[in-house]
Structure 1
Amino acid sequence: MDSLASCFVQHGAPSQSFKLYSLQRRPSTSLLRRSVPIVRCAAAHASTAAKATSVDVVNGSGNGGGGGFDFETYLSAKAKAVHDALDVALRDLRCPASLSASMRYSVLAGGKRLRPALAIAACELAGGPAAAATPVACAVEMIHTASLIHDDMPCMDDDALRRGRPSNHVAFGEPTALLAGDALLALAFEHVARGSAAAGVPADRALRAVMELGSAAGVGGVAAGQVADMEAEGDPSVGLAALEYIHEHKTARLVEAAAVSGAIVGGAGDAEAERVRRYAHFLGLLVQVVDDVLDVTGTSEQLGKTAGKDAAAGKATYPRLLGLEGAHAYAGELVAKAEAELDGFDAAGAAPLRHLARFMAYRQH
């Protein structure tokens, strides 16, 4: 444990201040010795699109973390814009009504829309307009939703609850759910191609975004991670290296692709895109660490899905391998590493990404 973290994040109720404790740093890490601002998160609901969180920076420093940025409004606005765009993209599909209904059921079920917001924020950081990244943002959400539909099926995690209501296969049957996930995956790439052209994104940038998303969805990401995750179930010998492989692919890679694709269509240069990639890599791992912790500490009502499923399935998780305190500590390290990658960018432009990292760390569902 002493090799893990630079700070310890103590989770509590959404309205409390979070304390961060200094721990010994891993000797091999390149993380700069820096303080992570203490933040307070208050849960709030966006209208129809997503649940947002208000972030009040209590102890900001000169790293762009100061108080002038209204993250709640930003995230809520992006979530609603993406939700509306997804609604339009899923209208009048030329397919059986049951397939269309199944696709819309899961995509429009809500959620925080963090991956789409990340794509848009990265595009804006690179100097591009939000409209340029909206097709990418929608595609990321389609890919993510497809993975959730498949993940919930009896042949995978066999979960009957998703986002507080019956999983897709429970509502529509397994064959339709399987095909809805497949259709969403295909539609994602069609949508990037058509939408990017309509938004005036140069073809070479759109192609690079498609390549990035394709890698994240397939053998370079979600598919590989899911297989490794299933093969590791019930294996007590699974260690940290195997767990990192699973979550770098199953979770972090799509988060990374969302950010990098957004930056690319926004006009980022190679060096900028790689820094965004590193930021998002740490962010993606953070998502999984917090998910693992909440699976232990949260309730099904809070999470909108069945709590305690990982332990019941004998899965390797960060709390199981590190303990809850160790998992919290690792989350703190990942927040600091992600924020460190933003230090060279314009502070105002990086503010959404900085606050997004803190939101990921301190969320309660």
Structure 2
Amino acid sequence: MTAAATVKEELARRAASVEEFLVTCLRDRGIPDRLLASMEYSLLAGGKRLRPVLVLSWCGMLGGEPDKAMPFAASMECIHTYSLIHDDLPAMDDDDLRRGKPSNHKRFDEATAILAGDGLLTEAFGLMSAASIVRGLPADRVLRAIFVLAQAAGAGGMVGGQAVDMEFTGRTGVPLPELQRMHAMKTGALITAACECGAILAGAPEADVANAREFGRNIGVAFQIVDDVLDVVSDTETLGKPAGSDEAMGKTTYPALMGLDKSKQLAVEYVETALTHLSGYYGGEQEFLWQLARYIVDRVY
């Protein structure tokens, strides 16, 4: 088995444990049936579960208790899923397909999809709190992690990045630094927060929290570059969403600005930088994070 296949298999195994928790986290909450069905339709539709896995891996590597951090990790997936539901809406990216299935607003309707996203975002903060109230993680760690995640997901992070993306759609001549800033907000902020929050929940020293943050920041950029490349070179069946949609919508992407080869090389450079922030750690979690970072760029080679 190749290294890429091995880490993909391990990522799937870890994602399965997150999935088991996600199946239960919205139940017995008094959520109306149709709204619950819409929320679970997208939340349980599969995916790599990269963000919660990063929380748990950094927490475990730095001596924390991943089981106690699971509700917080799951909150990451709720926030990510809400963003996908809203991104697919006709007023945003207007995509009819997500993870190989009809987008939420196509399966249900636009109003229900909006409310499902709203519900997932709000439920996420309840899950974050549960890491302390139910699982017993120290409240000061959880409070700090909530602060970090709220900033990453909010108007100065993911939401702001989506707003800038909408401004850039259809425009020509967007400079590379502006593209990088937009993706650092839209995609990178949540991935960075996942790593940073894992370190915080472990009670790690500030130097380790900084390493987690920089690792996440760099793989977040690499992840977005690779996504841009895959939109050009892959197909709809493989992606689980319409291939070529970036070009069709007039979005500014790394391949559009730099070409495919230079984009791939830039992704590799960001991953290499990320790996420098793992060099002082050892053990199975360090090895997994190392291979996971490599896997991000292996997808386009």
* Shorter-chain TM-score tier: over 0.9
For 1:279-294, list aligned pairs within 5 A: 279-294=215-230
Distance 1:92 1:171 in 2: 23
Q: Say whether 1:196 aligns with 2:159.
A: no
Q: Say whether 1:274 aligns with 2:210.
A: yes
Q: Say whether 1:335 aligns with 2:298.
A: no
Q: Which amino acid aligns with 1:72?
A: E
Q: Say whether 1:82 aligns with 2:15.
A: no
- Provide the alpha-carbon RMSD of the alignment: 1.5
In structure 2, what is the equivalent of residue 23 of structure 1? none
Distance 2:113 2:285 in 1: 40
Q: Say whether 1:108 aligns with 2:71.
A: no
For 1:303-322, list aligned pairs within 5 A: 303-322=239-258
Distance 1:112 1:201 in 2: 26
- Percent identical residues: 47
Output the TM-score relative to the length of structure 1.
0.80
Distance 2:240 2:283 in 1: 35
Cα deviation, residue 93, structure 1 = 2.8
Q: Is the 8 A contact 1:132 1:265 kept in 2?
A: no
Moved segments of 4+, more than 4 Å: none
Q: Which amino acid aligns with 2:62?
A: A
Distance 2:76 2:46 in 1: 14
Given candidates 209, 233, 236, the residue that maps to 2:145 is: 209
Distance 2:277 2:107 in 1: 42
Given candidates 105, 110, 114, the residue that maps to 1:174 is: 110
Structure 2 unaligned residues grouped into runs of 5+: none
Q: Say whether 1:41 aligns with 2:4.
A: yes
Q: Is the 8 A contact 2:68 2:135 kept in 1?
A: yes
For 1:111-260, list aligned pairs within 5 A: 111-260=47-196
Cα offsets for 1:139-172 (capped at 9, x unmatched): 0000000000000000000000000000001001
Distance 1:101 1:349 in 2: 35
Cα deviation, residue 137, structure 1 = 1.1
Q: Which amino acid aligns with 1:280?
A: G
Cα deviation, residue 130, structure 1 = 1.5
Given candidates 97, 108, 116, the residue that maps to 2:33 is: 97
Q: Which amino acid aligns with 2:289?
A: L
Distance 1:77 1:347 in 2: 18
1:77/1:197 CA distance change after superposition, 3 Å: farther
Q: Which amino acid aligns with 1:227?
A: A
Cα deviation, residue 326, structure 1 = 0.6
Cα deviation, residue 114, structure 1 = 1.0
- The range that moved more, 348-357 or 247-256, is 348-357
Cα deviation, residue 111, structure 1 = 0.5
Cα offsets for 1:310-340 (capped at 9, x unmatched): 0011111000001000100101101100101
Q: Which amino acid aligns with 1:41?
A: A
Structure (1/2) with the larger strand percentage: 1
Q: Which amino acid aligns with 2:218?
A: F
Cα deviation, residue 347, structure 1 = 4.8
SS of structure 2 residue aligned to 1:41:
helix
Q: Is the 8 A contact 2:72 2:130 kept in 1?
A: no
Q: Is the 8 A contact 1:153 1:169 kept in 2?
A: yes
Larger radius of gyration: 1
Q: Say whether 1:72 aligns with 2:35.
A: no
Structure (1/2) with the larger helix percentage: 2
SS of structure 2 residue aligned to 1:314:
coil
Distance 2:208 2:201 in 1: 12
Distance 1:337 1:85 in 2: 33
Q: Which amino acid aligns with 2:232?
A: V
Q: Which amino acid aligns with 1:237?
A: G
Q: Is the 8 A contact 1:132 1:266 kept in 2?
A: no
Distance 1:196 1:101 in 2: 28
Output the TM-score relative to the length of structure 2.
0.96
Cα deviation, residue 253, structure 1 = 0.4
Count of residues paired in the alignment: 301
Q: Which amino acid aligns with 2:9?
A: E
